[in-house]
Each structure stands twice: as structure tokens, then as C-alpha cells.
Amino acid sequence: MLHTFTINDKQYTAKPFDFNLVCDLEDAGVQLSEISSKPMSAVRAYFTLCSELDKDVAGLELQAHMIGGGKIDEIVDAMNAELKESDFFRAISKDEKENTPKRTSKKDSEKE
């Protein structure tokens, strides 16, 4: 499904979260695991990739959008939709869950 969002009255097409996009985000300094802790950086990096603007220009566009009363909810919703639909993201999320050691309680370790 094609997702779009509008910044400063211009419509952009959201990019899918595939291997290359994740690498591009990492090159921009945003790790997938940090998206929730660095939301503004993640939004700017994603917008930079979707708009093909320089990161500073993309940041100024987002700033002007917000100062003019716009919200970034639409781009965040598009990002979330792309993440949800991403086969690549689901695969790496599944792999991380399977390789994460299970925590045991103190009580469990006393039984051993």
C-alpha cells in the first residue's frame, strides 16, 4: 500500500523500511532501536530520505511546517505504517526476540 504524508502543503511518498532504508537511517545516525528515544532525529532522517533533501534543508522544512501550525503526526503515521508492513523489519525483529536471552528470576536460579 502506498503511504503519503504532507509537509508544507507538499505531498511526499513514504519509503518502505527495507534493508537499504535501514542502512541509510544508520548512516544518518539513527538506529532502529533508537527511534522511540530520538523521535525528532528519526523523523528528520526519514523525511530527508523521502524528500531527497539535504538533512539541514529537511530540518528547516519540518520546522517551518510546525511553526506554521502543522503537526508531524502524518509523517509519523506513515513511518509506523511502513514499519508495520515491512517484511524486513518483521524478520529482524523476530530474530532479535529469538536471540534475546530470557531473564530468570532469583527464585528460578536458586532451584538449579
pLDDT in tens, 29-47: 999 888 889 999 999 999 9
Split at pLDDT 50, 70, 90, the class of 95 is low
pLDDT at 105 > cutoff 90? no
Rounded mean pLDDT, 4-16:
96
What confidence score (pLDDT) does residue 101 get?
53
pLDDT at 80 > cutoff 70? yes
C-alpha cell, 49: 530520505
Domain ranges in the chain are 4-100
* Cα angle, residue 93 at apex, residues 30 and 35 outer, rounded to 5°: 25
> Which ranges of the chain does DSSP label H, i.e. alpha helix?
19-27, 39-51, 55-67, 73-85, 87-98, 106-111
Tell me the average pLDDT of the chain.
87
- Of 65, 52, 68, the closest CA to residue 8 belongs to 65
Rounded to two decimals, what is the model's pTM? 0.79
